[in-house]
Amino acid sequence: MKKTVIALFALAAFAGTAFAADVIEMKKGVKFTHKAHQESLKDCTKCHTTAAGGKIEGFGKDMAHKTCKGCHSEGKKGPTSCKECHK
């Protein structure tokens, strides 16, 4: 039992370094709920090129508006107006 607890702690500590923040603060007041998106979308490759995720090369306005807004309007779920994303 004790061993399991220690193993879980070790795992949590390790996972902490491998994963992104729950909410990523972006430019112009955008708060991106990374964790909520991971959980609801499941598929990391909706945004990342690999299932491991990580920094997205060339991430910025064009990519964000295409990917973020694109999915929200296609799926009719999630914000599509400026003020909903840019607080």
- Which spans of this chain sit near ligand HEC (rule: CB under 6 A)? 19-20, 24, 26-28, 30, 32-34, 36-38, 40-41, 44, 46-48, 52-56, 59-61, 64-65, 67-69, 71-72, 75, 77-82, 84-86
Q: How many Å apart are CA 39 and CA 56, to the nearest integer?
A: 19
The residue nearest ligand HEC at its CB is: 53
Q: Provide the minimum distance between the beta carbon of 13 and ligand HEC in the complex, in angstroms, as a whole number.
A: 16
Q: How many Å apart are CA 31 and CA 27, to the nearest integer?
A: 9
- Closer to ligand HEC at the Cβ: 9 or 46? 46
Q: Which residues contact 51 (CB under 8 A, 6 or more apart)?
A: 44, 45
